[in-house]
Amino acid sequence: MEDEEILPEALPAPMVVEFTEEEFETPEIDDLSSAEPRQVMELPRAEPTPDGRARVVTVMNQKGGVGKTTTVINIATHLALHGVRVLVVDCDQQGNCATGLGIDKSRVVHTTRTLFTEPENAPACRHATAIPGLHLIVGERSLVGIEQELSTMLGRERCLIDGLEPLLQHYDLVLLDTAPSLGLVTINALVASDAVLVPVQTEFFALEGVAMLASTIREVRRRLNPKLGFDGVMMTMHAPTLLNSQVKSQLMETFGDLMIEPPIRRNIKLAEAPSEGVPIHIHAPESNGGHDYRLLAQNLAERWGFELE
């Protein structure tokens, strides 16, 4: 064609670092350990739970596949097996909590959706799992439409508070699993929570992700829920590579005592367990994954003031 428009050259992008060939060389371990310590990122801390009701904790990271659901299932299981009354609420339409706990979500009538739309029916949304003391409110596909329904409602960020309210006095801990996005359902979870727990993968983008999440939490504190704070940041899918240990030390320096040990090692048994519909405590309790989640849950129990039986 004669009049074909010529696309102008793309603009040069402003680069953070101008790479030269040398800069691609793998650094020596000694170089890493002599790096300047990072600034500590001051994150708001959560307040203690008022007496007589459950602590409500949202497990959150807008990045997908970092181990949120695996963490929820395995912490909840460990604590429930040691006498803590735990309710898991799956606020993700993927519904992975049900699968991981062996529940057939296609046969469940009242789900997290009901909790949002009919708070008076909240008690009927709970399902007992194979783990004594661990109950689940199932998330599934019907949560997709709720984002739009909520958007036209007055007080749309506070629906989950109403749903959870009648349940709180019957549990010690309510864990909210969230989707890898920041829609109204996740905002509802944050508004109904005392605290957030953030699983991060020890990979390069981890710090950037948490910084973004921290600004969301500050915004929610300012506008909707002044008591919301961090209960901790924990590491998932940790492997013994140079990059993983480098990111681990960066996280430790940045978040200080908010980091919860131990890092959860990458372990195939943790990935297999959901296909059996059981937590790691039943699938492979002696695996590295079983060991790490046990210790992590014990450390969290201490922070949350639960005495394990």
Can you give the binding site for Mg ion, defined by CB under 5 A?
A: 68-69, 96
Strand partners, 175: 57, 88
Using CB under 6 A as the binding rule, the residues of this chain from 123 to 142 that contact ligand ATP are: none
Sign of CA dihedral 53, 123, 151, 142: positive
Q: Is 66 in the site for ligand ATP (CB under 6 A)?
A: yes
- Among ligand ATP, Mg ion, none, partner that 200 touches (CB below 5 to 8 angstroms by kind): none
Q: Is 237 in the site for ligand ATP (CB under 6 A)?
A: yes
Number of residues that make up the chain: 309
Do the beta carbons of residue 150 and residue 112 sit within 8 Å? no
Q: Is 287 in the site for ligand ATP (CB under 6 A)?
A: no
Tell me the three state secondary structure of residue 150.
helix
Q: Segment near ligand ATP (CB under 6 A), from 101-109, 132-140, 161-169, 270-278? A: 270-278
Number of C-beta neighbours around residue 112 at 10 A: 30
Q: In what helix (H) or strand (E) does residue 56 lie, and over which residues does it extend? A: strand 55-59
Strand partners, 136: 88, 127
Q: Is 270 in the site for ligand ATP (CB under 6 A)?
A: yes
Q: Is 64 in the site for ligand ATP (CB under 6 A)?
A: yes
Q: Is 271 in the site for ligand ATP (CB under 6 A)?
A: yes
Do the beta carbons of residue 251 and residue 207 sit within 8 Å? yes
Minimum distance between the CB of residue 59 and Mg ion, rounded to whole angstroms? 9
Q: Segment near ligand ATP (CB under 6 A), from 65-73, 148-156, 226-234, 296-304? A: 65-73
Do the beta carbons of residue 218 and residue 182 sit within 8 Å? no
Q: Is 279 in the site for ligand ATP (CB under 6 A)?
A: no
**Residues within the interface to ligand ATP (CB under 6 A):** 64-70, 92, 94, 96, 180, 236-237, 264, 266-267, 270-271, 274, 289
